Amino acid sequence: MFVNTPPLGWNTWNTFGANINEQLILESADAMVSSGLKDAGYEYIVIDDIWALKERGKDGRIVPDPEKFPHGMKYVADYVHSKGLKFGMYSCAGYLTCAGYPGSYGYEWVDAQTFAEWEIDFLKYDYCFHPISVRPDIMYKRMSLALANCGRDILFSACSWGSAHTRQWIKETGAHMWRSTGDINDSWESIKELAQSQLMAQEYNAKGCFNDMDMLVVGMGGKGNVALTGCTEDEYRLHFSLWALLNSPLMIGCDIRSMDDATKSILMNKEVIAINQDPRGCQPFMAHSEWFEINPNRGPDDFYYKNYFLDNPIIAKFLDNGDIAIGFFNFTDEAGGRWRYTFEPENVGLPHAIGKTLELTDLWTGEVMHTLNGAVEIDHIPAHACRLFRAKIVDA
């Protein structure tokens, strides 16, 4: 199994935590179809932790909690599949899951076979309560081999939070996506922290093994399992734009049964989703007029580096049809950032001398812009907001 584009779907954890049951999953599958999310490209319905009993059965298999899932997991999977969707579940590389339920350590082949019999399509594999005497790559390789030999294609979502230098060994394991961050929560501070930690780490993201920046909090509005302060619409839009541009899987975390219009407009922006799902899968890159590696002594604590590259990043990505995605992000608390955003086509390999320039379409507003005097200048981006463009090469 090879995964060409970042997976899109919905996961129970961010909003519901332990409060999951069969009816919630069935209703959410219905909502994914009726809301238009399925048509927008979302396809996975994923149950996170706390779905099982505390003890395995006498046959060594994990047992779904009969109060939460009275008809069993095959029934749930069949219902999800009947909607044209795919079904995902959760386990852990340790003896226990993060919430203290049976993990898969020592039971990898048994659990992989069980998941295959239930006809799941996606496994999120966490990293709690693991033996310190076993290398982390070995634990993920064990489950990867078990899944590859279970008789069913199951997307392997490795969730080791970027710890133990995950980026250095995760592709060896055969995982299709890998968590590179700690847990997100529904606050601007969390979005900013996770986002800035990823800006200079894109070389570890590629087709077949996507860098997962954690699930989306768009639309949570300060309610749910990981809720804190909630976010503004601008903050949610920046969150979604950056996750899409950086090729992260887009796994919704809000209650999709009750999304408001603002949430739908963000999560179902097909032009932004197309940037995430672009078949070429190119690595995003910084596209500032002056690149920080001019001075290799600069680093994350340097004032210039922090304010120019982390607080006001300009990020570009080549697209399959020859267009370029370009995002301008304001992580500061000041409208407009520290200074005007200036972008020159030369920064993406398009010198003015060849007689070509860029026509940029804002993917949120539809506004069309052109270069002026060989550059694009963006003023007055609100605090915690962004502009995301699809740029087409045209005659100057």
State the catalytic residues.
126, 183
Spell out where the chain has E strands: 8-11, 44-46, 86-92, 122-126, 155-158, 177-179, 186-187, 210-212, 227-230, 250-252, 285-286, 314-318, 324-330, 341-343, 356-362, 368-370, 376-378, 385-395
Give backbone dihedrals phi and psi of 351, rounded to 5 degrees, phi first. Answer: -70, 145
C-alpha 247: how far from chain center: 7
Nearest to 96 by CA among 139, 73, 127: 127
State the Cα–Cα distance between residues 240 and 88, nearest whole angstrom. Answer: 22
- Per-residue DSSP letters for 308-368? IIISS-EEEEE-TTS-EEEEEEE-SSSTT-SS-EEE-GGGGT--GGGTEEEEEEETTT--E
